[in-house]
Amino acid sequence: MFSKKTLFTVLPVLASTSANAWASDNHTCALTKPIYSCENTTTIVDTCCTPTQGLVLVTQFWDTYTGLESEGSVLPKDSWTIHGLWPDRCDGSYGQYCDLSRQYDPSPSPNTTTGKPDGTPVPAWEGGNIITPLLQKYGKYDLLAYMENYWKSQGSPDWTFWQHEFSKHATCFSTYDVGFEGAPDCYGSLYQNSTEASIIDFLDSVIKAQVKYPTYAWLAAEGITPSNSTGYDVKQIQDVLTNASGGEPYLGCYGPTKQILSEVWYYSHSLGRPQDGNLKPIDQTTKTNCNATQPIWYYERAQGSEY
Ligand SMILES: *[C@@H]1O[C@H](CO)[C@@H](O)[C@H](O)[C@H]1NC(C)=O
Ligand SMILES: *[C@@H]1O[C@H](CO)[C@@H](O)[C@H](O)[C@H]1NC(C)=O
Ligand SMILES: *[C@@H]1O[C@H](CO)[C@@H](O)[C@H](O)[C@H]1NC(C)=O
Ligand SMILES: *[C@@H]1O[C@H](CO)[C@@H](O)[C@H](O)[C@H]1NC(C)=O
Ligand SMILES: *[C@@H]1O[C@H](CO)[C@@H](O)[C@H](O)[C@H]1NC(C)=O
Ligand SMILES: *[C@@H]1O[C@H](CO)[C@@H](O)[C@H](O)[C@H]1NC(C)=O
Ligand SMILES: *[C@@H]1O[C@H](CO)[C@@H](O)[C@H](O)[C@H]1NC(C)=O
């Protein structure tokens, strides 16, 4: 107990007085044997190389409109859209906004790190869109175009949602650490700006994971397509996605009787860094909330909400 406390107060001091050399050296993950996150946490020797919060969730939405159609924001035909890539703790609980030096979310939710009134406040970001200019600065136009098509917000500009996902979730993945409060800087001195490196690295990882879970195509192959006239048995959808992905996903429904399908979360363990995209499917730890006794709706998109 006592020694652990001491360690945490000493580390930031060390890191700042030695210009971060200590914290940024020697994170060559190719030299460490990759292990599956959450399967043998005692053997994580470098937190840059295996996430400590290693229950990795690949999450998607089925939205029927964006709310910003008049500004040209429409949903991709024949595809679910990206929600994010989340680092839950191995027991299924999770933290958020783990590095306030990388807080770019204009409307933090929750507004404290614990979600409770006495938690550390998460200040709203007032500097606007940083992700679009950052991707342009480094010539990542292809990544930006993909995000603009497939990573859609509802009721707010897409960049607000990207920055929310980055600051709330990516900062809790140890493999994207940049030296905050004694954490190592996984990017080292090779990069001029580790924060910028971590943002682009994370956005890239999100896409790498998402393309492996083509929910729309998996369902369509079994004859399950959006319909405003026929409901589906949630078990049928769950079984198809379990077969296709290799692990039982969480399905999220809303409405007073939980009959409107809107989300899927796929669970996995990461072999080494999530950046490398080696995710092993596992079963959900949150039970599907959709109505199990009544048909659920997998609605068609609204007219003009799809391209
Ligand atoms: C980094 O690795 C080198 C070569 O193994 C070693 O000499 C050095 O002590 C290491 N530095 C740190 C901070 O671990
Ligand atoms: C976890 O790693 C340790 C050290 O390498 C090893 O002794 C142990 O058998 C491993 N446990 C499992 C469940 O793989
Ligand atoms: C968080 O939001 C609640 C509810 O809107 C508000 O009462 C509280 O003052 C906010 N806390 C912070 C730290 O902004
Ligand atoms: C690194 O990039 C971030 C985001 O663009 C910026 O806020 C920060 O000032 C930069 N840091 C340095 C040392 O240039
Ligand atoms: C899932 O796969 C098993 C074994 O291949 C098969 O028996 C079952 O019919 C499949 N279920 C669905 C819903 O595709
Ligand atoms: C499922 O729907 C039925 C009938 O509409 C309703 O009575 C029941 O409470 C619903 N279950 C859930 C979990 O909402
Ligand atoms: C299907 O139903 C949803 C939910 O009521 C609605 O928003 C959407 O516009 C409908 N789509 C079509 C093509 O009728």
Structure tokens at 291: 């109505």
Q: Residue 78's beta-bridge partner residues?
A: none
Q: Is 253 helix (H, G, I), strand (E, B) or coil?
A: strand
Work out the mean pLDDT of the chain and round it to a whole number. Answer: 92
Over residues 36-56, the pLDDT tens digits come to 999 987 778 899 999 999 999
List Cβ neighbours of 262 (8 Å cut-off, separation of 6 or more): 61, 62, 63, 252, 253, 254
Q: Identify the pLDDT of residue 293.
A: 98
Per residue in 174-232, pLDDT tens?
A: 999 999 998 999 998 889 999 999 999 999 999 999 999 999 999 999 999 999 999 99
Domain boundaries, the chain: 35-282
Residue whose entry in the numeric block shows the structure tokens 């493999």 = 175
pLDDT in tens, 74-109: 999 999 999 999 999 999 999 999 999 999 999 999
pLDDT band at 16 (very low <50, low <70, confident <90, very high): very low
pLDDT tens-digit series, residues 271-280: 999 999 999 9
Cα–Cα dist 154/136, whole Å: 24
Residue 265 has a pLDDT of 98
Residue nearest to atom 14 of ligand 5 (CA): 240
Q: Which atom of ligand 1 is nearest to the CA of 22?
A: 13
**Ligand 6 pocket member 291 (CB < 6 A):** yes
Ligand 5 atom closest to the Cα of residue 236 is 13
Return d(Cα 200, Cα 186) in angstroms, integer: 14
* pLDDT above 60 (res 12): no
- Nearest to residue 177, comparing CAs of 33, 55, 304, 23? 23
- Which range has the worst mean pLDDT, 40-44, 109-113, 145-149, 247-251? 40-44
Distance 231 CA to ligand 6 centre (A): 14
What is this structure's pTM? 0.91
Q: Tell me the pLDDT band of 9, cut-offs 50, 70 and 90.
A: very low
CB distance 105 to 125 below 8 Å: yes
User: Which CATH topology does 35-282 take?
Assistant: Ribonuclease Rh; Chain A (3.90.730)
Mean local confidence (pLDDT), 239-258:
98
